[in-house]
Chains A and B, each alone.
Chain A
Amino acid sequence: MSAATAPSAPVVRPGLRRLVGYLSRHRLAYGFWAILTLGYVASFVTIPILIGRALGAAEQGLPASEIALRCGFIVAVTLFAAALRYYSRTLVFNLARDIEYELRNDLFSHLQRLPQSFYLRWRTGDLMSRCVNDLASVRLLLGPGVLNLLQTPILYLAVFVAMFVLDPKLALFVVLPYPAFLWIARAFGRAMYRTNLRLQEGLADLSNRLQESVAGVAVVKAYAMERANQERFEVANRDLYERQIAVVRVMAALQPVLTLLPAVAMGIVFVVGGREVIDRRMSIADFFTFSMYVYGLTFYTFLMGWVVTLVQRGAASMQRLDDVLCTEPSIADRPDAARLGGLRGEIEFRHLDFRYPGSDREPSLRDLSVRIPAGSTLGVVGPIGSGKSTLASVVPRLYEVPDGTVFLDGVDVNRIPLATLRRNIAMVPQESFLFSMSLAENVAYGLAEPDPERIHAAAERAQLARDVADLPYGWDTLVGERGVMLSGGQRQRTALARALALDPRILILDDALSSVDAETESRIRSGLREVFAERTVILISHRISTVRDTDQIIVLDGGRIVERGRHDELVAAGGLYARLASQQALEEEIESEEAVA
């Protein structure tokens, strides 16, 4: 998803504008820091003058005490400068960390608000790379970047003013090479931006390739893809190397090129200033002061070079963060959100057409209308890809639906606050994802307060309770990616318990027991019977037997409802459902016949 187009024109404005927003929140602190910086700059400019004066005393043969006194001034101002330096540096770096903190929180919070359609388009590796690498670059821009962007120009200006006061003619000559800095900074800045952007893309690409091979390692191994895979990786790896080298070349050239500026300035001081001293228009002490100034600026000129790279990189990174942050959550509470008390749980679809955002495939649901009275159960069956899971996903608004198509208690779901909506709906998705927490915490995931009683009741109903004893730490066993491995069935049962613990008005089971064995499933279903009785339930399954005792059944094919009714009616109608049923019944028959035999 990263911008694949050539970064000819670095568009970083929106990102930087957002960053300025963060900076301005701390404007008081930054104001105070600016004052400290001015104080530091003042002492920075004073020290070479004091050095000149001390040297002048020596030159004029003043007594040793006078020389010592003047050297004492240098020490005093130096200590003052050091204190200012310490405080201003601490202040600005801490501010950078504060903003990093805010930015990271905002990213996290924003990611949580983005809909599933966003996660279909963006790869996890890419998002992680932005949240980790790009955020680090932005932090550097905020720390050393901001510090030097403000301090260095002031410093230059102050030094130039001091030099003009000291000797306008020589100052004019000395200033000559510095404007070239702007040109160098621009040229390098562009090269830096271009190469870094390409590097970031290369890194993201490699991460993705790696992530995929790891996630699909079972397939890689089972099909002995290692060699082919290594070759694919090598291509990405070599490409990344090329991109790295391009960055390295620019970086390696920058500092040496920048060295030349103060070098030319120093040469000018030497030739022009030396002449003036010889002509007795300038003291040797002032000559020394001048060279101290040029010398003092050398370090900052280097630093500016480094800062230019930081700023370029940081701006590009900020833009990449902005790409995420400026994605409006297309599923959010509306200003005209309805205020609902309790929900009864009636669900209605009215002429729902649904297409996955950005998908060029056929619509997943077409002209779908069905009403599920509160407390009743809807069974959904249909062939693969007929839109069953899509139907389940739009009720809790995991995906965007058009206005006026999906209603809850007669209210358009788009007008129901998300928190209200989702508090009343518990869904068990097809793939059961568990978090790296204890088993108990996973089951209590949707509960505001972990309530042992509810957790146990839910676990009992989901037939999970028996497994707990077998786990090394019982309920406290860490599961999920970093914890112990649960079997597919255990994971599904945990996900089911997690949903049941919510005690929701509406329960949606999307083929939620596919990995559970027959024996356990039958126990789960008998336990669920009373749960179903008092709730609105959408039961999606590929098995007729799962849905046959529901209040109404819809049969989906190609996103349309092709049949609807109760089990018997549908069987009598002799359509797709009847075909599916007869196929499954046939199997049953074979089984029962043989059992008799």
Chain B
Amino acid sequence: MSAAPPPVAAQDALHEEDALGKAYDSRLLRRLWRYVAPYRVQVWWTLGLVAPVFLLELAPAWIVRIGIDRVIAPAIGESGPIGGARPGVFATPPSFLSGLAEAPSWVPPLVWLGALYLVMMIGSAALQFVQSWVMAKTGQLAMRDLRSDVFRHLSTLHIGYFDRTPVGRIVTRATNDVENVAEMFTAGIVALVTDVIKMVGFAVALFVVDARLALVTFSVVPFLTGIAIVFRLRIRDAFRAVRVRIARINATLQETVTGMKVVQLFNREERNLRDFAELNAAHRDAWIVSIRYDAALFAAVETAQNLTVALVIWWGTGIASVGVLYVFIDWMRRFFMPLRDLSAKYSVMQSSMASCERIFQLLDTEPRVKDPVVAPEVGHRFSGQGAIALENVWFAYQREDFVLRDVSFRIEPGERVALVGATGAGKTSVIKLLNRFYDPDRGRVLLDGVDLREMPQQELRRRVALVQQDVFLFSGTVAENIGLGRPDIDAAAIERAARAVAADEFIAKLPQGYATPLHERGANLSGGQRQLLSFARALAHGADVLVLDEATSAIDTETEASIQRALRVLWEGRTALVIAHRLSTIQDVDRIHVLHHGRIVESGRHEDLLAQRGLYHRLYRLQYERQAEASAVSDARRGARV
């Protein structure tokens, strides 16, 4: 529309903010460790098991070796190096376990060794189970705590955070991201550490058995390492591209599902699908790159395994016995095994780390609204009748873009004050400050003489009840939605509150009355019914200060009349601040403040303000004229038709 290039993409901070993830980040790991630390005993257990597991993995091939070299080969007269010893090169391999391999006289030696082999394998399997079970369980315990922390932290963040952050993103942090981090315990870093220990172990063992043969076979390792390094660099970028694109896909999906009514009303299905398919294709294409590298690595490892076999036989002739060749082939395969799914592990690690970073980013989001460091004793210090004061308050959602400018007013206990003004005049912002959803940039907000910033939020919110324009119902029963989980509000109190706002009539008509379950967003109640419930909610929580934010605007006249009656009862003895579009509803308040572009331009009682013939008078005249004009137009139309 404008001459400047569309900055929409630049404004969309969603994907830039998302961490892309290194596969290894010691800073993140150290921090993650804090969640694991309470369960560190289990971690020591798993690490302690690495050595026995490894030894049990070495043993079977060695037993086969003993069987071949000591039982089978001598029986057919082929002991010693295969193909006859090359002079001066045959060294007797070490003879671990040979004692154990001595069969008792009543068992044939091969059967004895076979049994021994099986025992080792079963032992190894059992230990492996214990190891992975304990590790995975530790991971899940840590993740449970992490999820709790995420949730707890979320409840400390100020409303502005939730205004800016898509719901889906927050949900993803506590579910998918935490799941990803858990993967690190089952497949990621732990597997990696274990693999590295084992690979070193196998290498050492091979050198001990026959250093020269080991040297030859390990000649393929540098070549493979080179491939792995190249691969690591390339695949990192591929995985990053994938992650960015899947994030975009899921954000689009979420938004479409949420706004489906508009999508369908505006016939956007086809165009949306086209755009979505484009995102989807970009994601698929990003994968194709990483698939190529993964397949290449897989093939390379397999090649290396078979190449070493060829090398072992070629070089081993005349140097080593058949049994030793067997040991080499077996151990070398096990040595290479971890490299095979390196790409899978790399991907797990990278996505775990990225998730980890995103979670910590969330946990690092400073609550902009904080409780006082030294929280004063809850209770008597704050008791008062509910006097409210705003002193020279300046407030902006975005830096210097002030929506409130130097606003000051007082509300004495039991007084009823109304804020009026056009849309965007700053009325709602006053309420947000009063509930401390935000803190003012300058000036202060006081409740009974105490700066809200020096009061625990729990205490503030216990004393100030809010009825908002946007009614939100939680899934739960009608009664639960009124009581909101506060233990001291019993069924009787809930019903009393509902009666007072005339909500009991429609509640009684619901299939299970107060026990009727409500759906997300209260889809099974009408707008007005939801509003009535929120009134009952505010009533039940009985606070000193009542704040009504445009609450009466969506209620029809008949209901509004009963609400007005209920309100009169309700704000008896309470301090009340009201925001309403309709001037008629605020005529009997004690004082009216007129907000204009964030400033209070007029204050006083209804009659005085009218007499001033200022902005209030204009707002008032406007509504009056609207009524007159409307009837005039309809008269004119009728006249024209006749």
Contacts and interface: CB of A to CB of B under 8 A. Distances in A.
Do A and B actually bind?
A: yes
B335 to A, nearest CB: 14
A180 interface: no
A109 B273 contact: yes
A129 B174 CA distance: 13
Interface string B453-464: 000011001101
Nearest to A111: B257
Contacts of A483: 11-12
A249 interface: yes
Given A221-B461, A231-B485, A522-B622, 17 more contacts: A58-B313, A61-B84, A75-B306, A75-B310, A124-B254, A216-B473, A218-B472, A268-B114, A274-B72, A382-B556, A384-B528, A422-B267, A429-B265, A488-B550, A515-B469, A520-B423, A591-B587
Contacts of A423: 267
Interface residues of A, number: 201
Nearest to A420: B267
Contacts of B128: 255-256, 259
Q: Which of A360, A445, A544 has the most CB of B within 10 A?
A: A445
14 contacts: A82-B300, A82-B302, A85-B298, A203-B175, A207-B174, A217-B159, A222-B464, A233-B148, A237-B147, A384-B527, A384-B531, A548-B630, A549-B637, A583-B557
A86 B296 contact: yes
A109 B310 contact: no
Interface in B52-84: 60, 64, 67-68, 71-73, 75-76, 78, 82-84
A51 interface: yes
Contacts of A89: 291, 294-295, 298-299
B196 interface: no
Given A112-B263, A225-B485, A487-B423, A384 B559 contact: yes
Interface in A219-237: 219-226, 228-234, 237
Contacts of B624: 588, 591-592, 595
Interface in A35-86: 47, 51, 54-55, 58-59, 61-62, 64, 67-68, 71-72, 74-75, 78-79, 81-83, 85-86
Nearest to B271: A448
A445 B159 contact: no
B93 interface: no
Given A82-B299, A111-B256, A514-B554, A430 B527 contact: yes
B469 A359 contact: no
B393 to A, nearest CB: 19
Contacts of A542: 528, 554-557
Nearest to B531: A384
Contact of A94 (B115, B288, B313): B288
Contacts of B528: 383-385, 542
B328 to A, nearest CB: 12
Contacts of A580: 556-558
Contact of B155 (A230, A425, A426, A566): A230
B553 A515 contact: yes
B447 interface: no
A481 B255 contact: yes
B537 interface: yes
Given A259-B128, A381-B556, A128 B254 contact: yes
A184 interface: no
Interface stretch (B117-125, B409-417, B565-573): B117-125
Contact of B262 (A98, A260, A425, A445): A445
Contacts of A108: 253, 256, 272-273, 276, 280
B129 interface: yes
Interface string B306-326: 110111011011100010011
A189 interface: no
A422 B261 CA distance: 12
A139 to B, nearest CB: 9
Given A217-B162, A259-B125, A475-B1, A482 B151 contact: no
A298 to B, nearest CB: 9
Interface stretch (A19-27, A406-414, A434-442): A434-442
Max chain B CB contacts within 10 Å: which of A104, A287, A516, A548?
Answer: A104
Given A224-B461, A435-B259, A74 B309 contact: yes
Interface string A532-568: 0000000000111100110000000000000000111
A32 interface: no
A587 B580 CA distance: 14
Given A104-B280, A481-B255, A595 B620 contact: yes
A306 B194 CA distance: 19
A530 interface: no
B259 A433 contact: yes
A244 B266 contact: no
A207 B272 contact: no
A224 B462 contact: yes
A229 B155 contact: yes
Contacts of A549: 630-631, 633-634, 637
Interface string A454-474: 010000000000000000111
Interface string A330-369: 0000000000000000000000000010011110000000
